[in-house]
Amino acid sequence: MLRIAVLVSGGGTNLQAIMDGIEQGRITNARIETVISSKGGVYALERARSRKIKTSVISPDDYDGREEFSRALLSEIKRLRVDLIVLAGYLVIIPEILIHDYRNKIINIHPSLIPAFCGPGYYGLRVHEAVLKKGVKITGATVHFVDEGTDTGPIILQKAVKVYEDDTPEVLQRRVMEEAEWLILPQAIQLMADNKIQVKNNKVYISGNRESN
Ligand code: GRF
């Protein structure tokens, strides 16, 4: 049974997709041990509590410095013997000590087709604003492992989504969530639960995929 910690900072729609996936049997052999928010009062915490999932708030603002914050986050993750850390709308930079101890065991959902529209400053609506400003016809979402960079870790899954000329950032964000994020994040968790992912030379190989035969 894969023990998961989901890290959130906001609305928690990706958390909801994971909880629904587990409840409806689309994700098997995995369990959310805890939801950790970087700030209090966010709706993601309500979503977790409604499913009786343990929640905690570990906010950088509550600690004297990044060192103490990092240690508090790492000790909670280790205390619960977490196997996989899922960043679902988490807006805090992951401490290096966590990346080091959980190499290729932290995954993130990013609302674009990396390497496009990613990196420092590209999060939430800003991503979709940049997509519309550039006028690309296809965007999408990416699940990737978290490394020391910003949105630079090995790519696990991606899904493309059409961009329409009359899209607003909000409409496009919703489509990317519905048609991509909420599908590929649960799929990536299932692949981890089934131990089907290997990383070689910073690239992901999924057993059972055509390329890996
Ligand atoms: C989404 O756009 C997601 O792609 C990004 O954070 C935003 C909010 O996600 N990672 P959620 O609704 O809090 O899951």
Given 57, 84, 102, the domain boundary residue is 102
Looking at the structure, do residues 87 and 151 belong to the same domain, yes or no?
no
Residue 208's pLDDT is 85
Cα separation of the two ends of the chain = 27
CATH number of the domain where residue 190 is located = 3.40.50.170
CB distance 38 to ligand 1 below 6 Å: no
Q: Which atom of ligand 1 is nearest to the CA of 108?
A: 10
Tell me the CA–centroid distance for residue 147 and ligand 1, in Å: 19
Looking at the structure, do residues 161 and 206 belong to the same domain, yes or no?
yes
Bridge partners of residue 7, in order along the sequence: 36, 87
CB distance 88 to ligand 1 below 6 Å: yes
- How many other CB atoms sit within 10 Å of the CB of residue 7? 26
Q: How many domains does the chain have?
A: 2
Looking at the structure, do residues 86 and 127 belong to the same domain, yes or no?
no
Per-residue pLDDT of the chain (213 residues; tens, 9 = 90+): 999 999 999 999 999 999 999 999 999 999 999 999 999 999 999 999 999 999 999 999 999 999 999 999 999 999 999 999 999 999 999 999 999 999 999 999 999 999 999 999 999 999 999 999 999 999 999 999 999 999 999 999 999 999 999 999 999 999 999 999 999 999 999 999 999 999 999 999 999 877 554
Distances (CA, A) of 185 to 16, 29, 107, 130, 201: 11, 15, 9, 23, 23
Range of the domain at 191: 109-213
Query: At a CB cut-off of 8 Å and minimum separation 6, what does 109 contact?
Result: 14, 87, 88, 89, 141, 142, 143, 181, 184, 185
CB distance 10 to ligand 1 below 6 Å: yes
Residue 32's pLDDT is 98
Query: Which candidate, 82, 25, 74, 14, places its Cα nearest to that of 54?
Result: 82
Mutation test of ligand 1: which of 91, 181, 182, 189 has the most ligand atoms closer than 8 Å to its C-beta?
A: 181
**Residue 118 corresponds to which tokens in the numbers above?**
């990613």
Looking at the structure, do residues 85 and 141 belong to the same domain, yes or no?
no
CB distance 111 to ligand 1 below 6 Å: yes
Residue 210's pLDDT is 73
Angle at 12 between CA 114 and CA 38, to 5 degrees: 90
144 annotated active-site: no
CB distance 11 to ligand 1 below 6 Å: yes
Residue 132's pLDDT is 98
